[in-house]
Structure 1
Amino acid sequence: MRKHAVLLTVLFALIVTLISVTVIFVEFYKLNRQQYINNIFTKDSVITQIYQDHGQKESSEIMLEANFAVYKFKIEKDIQAQKIILDRGEILKQVGFKDETVMLKKENLASLKKADTLRTTMLAYTHKIYFYIQSPTGYILIQDEELRPYRPWNLLYAYTTIILVLSVSFLLILQRLRPLSRLRRKIAKFGDGVMDISFATDGKDEIALIANELEDTRVKIKTILESRTLFLRNVMHELKTPIAKGTIATQMLDSQKQIDRFTSIFGRLESLVGEFALIEEVTSLNDKSDFKECRLIDIIDGAIDMAMIQKKDVTINIENSKKMFVNYRLYTTAIKNMIDNGIKYSTDKHVRIVMINGELCFESLGDCIKHPLNYYIEPFTKDNPSKNSFGLGLYLVDSILKAHRNVLAHEYENGMNRFIFA
């Protein structure tokens, strides 16, 4: 839902507008139709006047028909047709009735004996207008040959035009939002490390301006990352040469004590450069081309070999069929660091690797860590400075897990530290 919030907002506004316009037109249709009915019903005065004159003067039926014909009125004489029209016709308006009862049947005329006024009903049937006149002496059904029932063509035309305008406007808005959707997908790819993707566009609207600004930012970020990578690689390359020379020169010393001391110093420097190189590789991991599906048990075996420890020091409770989509070398390094960390700080020098709720866990006996986990995943931090470590182990693990869209978690239970790849 949140991914399409703008689209849903526009769609909601369109629906509300369509409903509002429809309600307004329906009410206007009712009002306009009633006004039309009221206007055409004024002809009842002419009809009743002619009919009353006919009753008072007792003129012939031919004269009555002739008087009606002058005003384009036609008397319906067919009894069967009268019955059908009175039964099926739509009553548009009535006057002269003292209650709501519709009295259109000939057998109800007895109740009119007591009335001095005429009762007039206007009906619509088969696109024709009829006036049904009831009097104390009889009734008559007259068709108006000029009038037609109300037809809302003008309203329908206006309503259709407005709906089309709103629909076209909505489609134009969608068309304008399409570049935003494409831009979102490009940003997602850029976030995944695809540095060569381009945000540039030829448009001049607000979205195009944002896209071009992002393109300028992308170029700057790419340049900075390339400069950083080049700098780190050159520094590490330049460091390796004096370290190698120093290691060779150490063997020329006369004192074995000095030889051991300098060998240890240069060994630690070489290890530090190696860890820096690995950190640089993790942080500059741009794509997933080196990722592949591997059996987790094979990754753990590779980590044990890399750690150069005995397999008896590690208990593995992992299904052989469990697979993961990872960068094999980096993930192996992360597991190797967790094994080293567990053996180094546990009381029994033993690590247990298990799967709990689908998450890889490393368990070891010992005291609970003294600081929150966030403290240990910072570079060059450790509890015991005397330990033979640079404090980069968990920092490197955390960086590798982030490259795999995972996080490092910790919990302590019953004297056991449990580090989790979540």
Structure 2
Amino acid sequence: MIKNISISTFVNIIFTLAFISIFITFAMFINYDKQKHELSLQNRYELIAENFLSSFQNQPTIESLIALYKKFQVMPVEDRDKKLEIIKNAQELTITQNYLGTYRVYKYNDTYYIYVQQYGYNLMLKDSANHNYSMAFIIVGFAISLFTFLFLYEILKRKLRPLNTLNKQIIEFSAGKKDIKLNYTSNDEIGTIARNFNEAINIINNQSKSKDLFMRNMMHELKTPITKAMFIAETLEDDKTRENLQRAFKRMDDIIKELATVEKLTSKNTMIYKEETNFFNIYSKTLEIMMINPENITAKIRDFKFNVDIYMMSIALKNLIDNAIKFSTNKKAIINANKKHIEIISLGEPLKNELSYYTEAFSQEEKRSDGFGLGLYIVKTIVSLHGFKLEYKYEDGKNYFIINMTK
């Protein structure tokens, strides 16, 4: 699962978990610090109470009591009504009774009181020191930690931001935009990738231009002599020689046309021009391109209308029928066509490999060495450009190549 998420998402997850961890850590620390504070207060009031209870046993003087007041920073509450108000309304935190006497600890209006009782001594003491729990330092510490955390997160996001730009430009390049140039000039790893990507783009563009120039020149240079040779072959008197030469030159002309089609389909600027037509129109165009005897084809067609590029779909159908006739045992092909699918059926041995093997350019079995192995590659490309799907199955000694037009 981790392998399938983006780096940005992974960073967000890590920082989210880190933030939750910081929050939980501070919450646990606050809880622990509060408990420690309460224990410290409990120990303080226990010490105060025991000191006063011990002094009560020795019948303390006013001077000794004043000394204890100063020592422990407490003040006696002498107003009887005030005492009753505190006892009635205050929060009683603890009550302790031992051999010295009894003492209680109250909290009232954020002030702590110790009520000490022994043998007729009844003394309520107000804690003059401020012992309210303060979270100021903890809040400051949390704020500093949070600021540092967010600062580091922003730095990392900015550091990774060029990766998103790089990814978008790579996608644009793969979609056919050739004039992309990355302007990331940093010397870090991302800058190195950007520079290498720029170099790769230049190399690919130069190779593409060289290939396009070579293909155009080659096809132009070969087309003229082949046409002249076919014309000269027509003048030969020997029928067998004339037919052999015409067949050879026709094959060379077909190969050039195939290469031209591949060059057009592999170009990122390939456009298909769809128009509504019926299947019989496509089928007639296919027979016209093939220039073969229709007796080799059995057509079972329920005519229908669909939106396609007439020329390209005719090329795809022509290649499927060519393959069916060429590699069948009886040199015949069957066409079943309706608005859902087009099937090209022929007798013969099943394919040795998966269909995807044959739809790669220049892929073919050893026994099928007649050709460059571009037929099914062209068919698959054209079918995909139309949003259709090329499928294959083998049943009852027959090969089925299917153009599935259902979405």
| TM-score bracket for the superposition, by shorter chain length | 0.7 to 0.9
CA shift for structure 1 position 414: 3.5
Gap change, CA 1:259 and 1:16, over 3 Å in 2: closer
Any residues of structure 2 matched to 1:340-351 within 5 Å, and which?
Answer: 340-342=322-324, 345=328, 349-351=333-335
Q: C-alpha separation between the residues in 1 aligned to 2:8 and 2:35?
A: 40
Aligned partner of 1:273 in structure 2 is 256
CA shift for structure 1 position 51: 5.3
Whether 2:399 is the aligned partner of 1:414: answer no
CA shift for structure 1 position 22: 3.0
Task: Say whether the 8 Å CA contact 2:301–2:337 is kept in structure 1.
Answer: yes
Task: Say whether the 8 Å CA contact 1:368–1:415 is kept in structure 2.
Answer: yes
Q: C-alpha separation between the residues in 1 aligned to 2:143 and 2:312?
A: 64
Aligned partner of 1:27 in structure 2 is 28
Any residues of structure 2 matched to 1:157-168 within 5 Å, and which?
Answer: 157-168=140-151
CA shift for structure 1 position 393: 2.1
Which residue identity is paired with 1:245?
A: K
CA shift for structure 1 position 160: 1.6
Aligned partner of 2:126 in structure 1 is 143
| From 345, 349, 352, the counterpart of 1:364 | 345
| From 80, 84, 89, the counterpart of 2:85 | 80
Number of positions where the alignment pairs a residue of Structure 1 with one of Structure 2: 389
String of CA shifts for 1:13-45, please: whole Å, max 9, x gaps. Answer: 223322333333333334433444444442543
Per the alignment, in what secondary structure is the counterpart of residue 269 of structure 2?
coil
Gap change, CA 1:214 and 1:125, over 3 Å in 2: farther
Q: C-alpha separation between the residues in 1 aligned to 2:202 and 2:387?
A: 25
Q: C-alpha separation between the residues in 2 aligned to 1:25 and 1:241?
A: 84
Which residue identity is paired with 1:264?
A: R
Q: C-alpha separation between the residues in 1 aligned to 2:225 and 2:396?
A: 49
Which residue identity is paired with 2:348?
A: D
| From 193, 198, 201, the counterpart of 1:218 | 201
| From 310, 315, 319, the counterpart of 1:333 | 315
Name whichever of 407-416 and 169-178 sits farther off.
407-416
Any residues of structure 2 matched to 1:229-240 within 5 Å, and which?
Answer: 229-240=212-223
CA shift for structure 1 position 274: 1.2
Task: Say whether the 8 Å CA contact 1:124–1:149 is kept in structure 2.
Answer: no
Gaps spanning 5+ residues in structure 1: where? 97-111
Q: C-alpha separation between the residues in 1 aligned to 2:140 and 2:146?
A: 10
Name whichever of 51-60 and 36-45 sits farther off.
51-60
Which residue identity is paired with 2:260?
A: A
Gap change, CA 1:403 and 1:317, over 3 Å in 2: same
Any residues of structure 2 matched to 1:109-124 within 5 Å, and which?
Answer: 115-124=98-107
Aligned partner of 1:253 in structure 2 is 236
CA shift for structure 1 position 155: 1.4
Aligned partner of 1:184 in structure 2 is 167
Aligned partner of 2:185 in structure 1 is 202
Task: Say whether the 8 Å CA contact 1:299–1:332 is kept in structure 2.
Answer: no
Name whichever of 147-156 and 256-265 sits farther off.
256-265
Q: C-alpha separation between the residues in 2 aligned to 1:305 and 1:336?
A: 9
Q: C-alpha separation between the residues in 2 aligned to 1:416 and 1:137?
A: 116
Which residue identity is paired with 2:286?
A: M
String of CA shifts for 1:141-171, please: whole Å, max 9, x gaps. Answer: 4321222311121112111211121122112
Q: C-alpha separation between the residues in 1 aligned to 2:193 and 2:171?
A: 15
TM-score (norm 2): 0.78
Gap change, CA 1:259 and 1:67, over 3 Å in 2: closer
String of CA shifts for 1:305-356, please: whole Å, max 9, x gaps. Answer: 1333869943346874x667xx664344223322443455386632113577
Per the alignment, in what secondary structure is the counterpart of residue 351 of structure 1?
strand
Aligned partner of 1:99 in structure 2 is none
Aligned partner of 1:57 in structure 2 is 59
String of CA shifts for 1:370-420, please: whole Å, max 9, x gaps. Answer: 532466546384787798x66542243245456678874422123442224
CA shift for structure 1 position 184: 1.2
Gap change, CA 1:27 and 1:306, over 3 Å in 2: same
String of CA shifts for 1:27-67, please: whole Å, max 9, x gaps. Answer: 3334433444444442543454345545763889xx97997
Gap change, CA 1:281 and 1:59, over 3 Å in 2: same
Q: C-alpha separation between the residues in 2 aligned to 1:390 and 1:35?
A: 85
Q: C-alpha separation between the residues in 1 aligned to 2:48 and 2:363?
A: 107
Name whichever of 364-373 and 395-404 sits farther off.
395-404
Any residues of structure 2 matched to 1:313-332 within 5 Å, and which?
Answer: 313-316=298-301, 320=305, 329-332=311-314
Name whichever of 402-411 and 173-182 sits farther off.
402-411
Aligned partner of 2:286 in structure 1 is 306
Aligned partner of 1:102 in structure 2 is none
String of CA shifts for 1:111-161, please: whole Å, max 9, x gaps. Answer: x6xx52334444444332232435575765432122231112111211121
TM-score (norm 1): 0.75
CA shift for structure 1 position 226: 0.9
Gap change, CA 1:207 and 1:386, over 3 Å in 2: closer
Aligned-residue CA RMSD (Å): 4.0
Task: Say whether the 8 Å CA contact 2:325–2:333 is kept in structure 1.
Answer: yes
Gap change, CA 1:330 and 1:250, over 3 Å in 2: same
Aligned residues with identical type, % of pairs: 22
